[in-house]
Amino acid sequence: MVRRAALLKMLAIAAVAAVITTLVAVLIRWLPPSASEQMDRITFTYWFATIICIGIFSLVIGAIVYSVIAFRAQPDDDTDGPPIHGNTRLEIAWTVVPAILVIAIGIVSAVVLSKNADAGRNPLHVKVFAQQFAWRFEYPGGVRTDELVMPVHRGVKFEMTSADVIHSFWVPQFGQKQDVLPGVTTSIVVTPTKTGRYTLICTELCGLGHATMRAPVRVIQQAAFNSWLSKQQAASGEQGGGATTGGTTTGATTTGGGGANEALGSKVFASSGCGACHTLTKTGSDGQVGPKLDDLAPAAQKAGKSVGDYVRQSIVDPNAVVVSGYQPNVMPQTFGQSLSKDELNALVDYVSGEEAQ
């Protein structure tokens, strides 16, 4: 009778603990709302483990709190407690039950991990290039973009690599997260379930501009995606064709198509993350890590070069001239490799203000 009453009290305390922890789990939004199949599975795993934890936690709290109250010593009681030999049945129970639960969590996690790595039968392959402090994407047919556009309900397999340091690919609503390493290709699968706009975030501290290393993500219907992609393919075809006929020298670009060149330069400036470190008034950027780029004529003169050549050197080989008051090796050394010839030419013209003259 006494034992039954004690058990009931313990369970009552456990119930209170369970209610409180359940409220903490449910009322606080711990995870972002899901927008991918992978995130749905991750959310399931989270709840599976959380429910088990709430159960165990509540029972332990019930036993502890009951014992603290029921078995507390009287103030003048200095005797030792009674010798206890243990309870084999209890010990087996508290070993076997947690073992089963932990194995269950392990199995659920393993199944979810392997399902989340499976891109399905017909995935879309997108290459991801990370560099301080920008993301770029390459679609089938060589289309390169600064915005990540994905069709809804289709597995997308990202193959990712970095030009410099370790970055990490993360869209909170997609759940999946994967490091992006230099010299290694890592991959990750996302199957979006909701159309909308999201943000790709670099989640590995990668340098001074880390906080600005973000890219817009847009999930659209498959049909809209198809027409978007063919439009991009057509556009990149034109650009490539124009460049080969347009001549190989930088000078040629100022004669014709200055507007297009300026647009490309401004785009490259934005997508390369220059604005995270530099102020350039015409782009609206206000980075404070590197020098202002509004008037480079004095620096070019000091270096004994034309403004264009000086800017080109500063981008391709930043350590050739280190502006006084600044440190070497802060500006990424990789733009010479990561930008195409056309992009570099347009960027140099844009930053040196060629088209304004």
Q: Least Å distance between CB 214 and ligand HEC?
A: 14
Instruction: State which of residues 53, 166, 224, 289 lies at the interface with ligand HEC (CB under 6 A).
Output: 289
Which tokens is 83 given? 């010798």
Q: What is the CA radius of gyration of the chain?
A: 30
Closer to ligand HEC by CB, 53 or 321: give it.
321
Strand bridging mode 167-170 / 196-202: antiparallel
| Binding partner of residue 11 among Cu ion, ligand HEC, none, CB cut-off 5 to 8 Å per kind | none
Asked whether the beta carbons of 330 and 289 are under 8 A apart, the reply is: yes
Collect all residues with Cβ–Cβ distance below 8 Å to 236 and sequence separation of at least 6: 141, 142, 143, 144
Asked whether the beta carbons of 169 and 243 are under 8 A apart, the reply is: no
Which tokens is 210 given? 């880390």
3-class SS at 86?
A: coil
Which tokens is 141 given? 């047919």
213: contact with ligand HEC by CB under 6 A: no
C-alpha 126: how far from its chain's center?
Answer: 16
Cα dist from 151 to 155, 187, 191, 265, 336, whole Å: 9, 18, 9, 29, 33
Residues in region 69-88 near ligand HEC by CB under 6 A:
none
Asked whether the beta carbons of 342 and 236 are under 8 A apart, the reply is: no
Candidate segments 33-41, 68-76, 256-264, 293-301, binder of ligand HEC by CB under 6 A = 293-301
Binding mask 4-43 for Cu ion (x = CB under 5 A): ----------------------------------------
148: contact with Cu ion by CB under 5 A: no
Closer to Cu ion by CB, 52 or 166: give it.
166
Cα dihedral 344, 184, 113, 210 sign: negative
- Which element (helix H / strand E) includes 344? helix 341-352
202: contact with Cu ion by CB under 5 A: yes
Closer to ligand HEC by CB, 44 or 326: give it.
326
Instruction: State which of residues 30, 44, 47, 326 lies at the interface with ligand HEC (CB under 6 A).
Output: 326
Q: Least Å distance between CB 321 and ligand HEC?
A: 6
Q: Least Å distance between CB 350 and ligand HEC?
A: 8
Instruction: State which of residues 188, 277, 307, 346 lies at the interface with ligand HEC (CB under 6 A).
Output: 277
206: contact with Cu ion by CB under 5 A: yes
Instruction: State which of residues 214, 322, 333, 355 lies at the interface with ligand HEC (CB under 6 A).
Output: 322
Closer to ligand HEC by CB, 231 or 292: give it.
292
Collect all residues with Cβ–Cβ distance below 8 Å to 58 and sequence separation of at least 6: 14, 15, 17, 18, 21
| Binding partner of residue 330 among Cu ion, ligand HEC, none, CB cut-off 5 to 8 Å per kind | ligand HEC
Amino acid present at 90: L
130: contact with ligand HEC by CB under 6 A: no
Residue 145's DSSP bridge partners are 137
Positions touching ligand HEC (CB under 6 A) are: 132-133, 207-209, 272-274, 276-278, 289-291, 293, 296, 299, 311, 314-315, 318-319, 321-323, 326, 328, 330-332, 335, 347, 351
Positions touching Cu ion (CB under 5 A) are: 167, 202, 206, 213
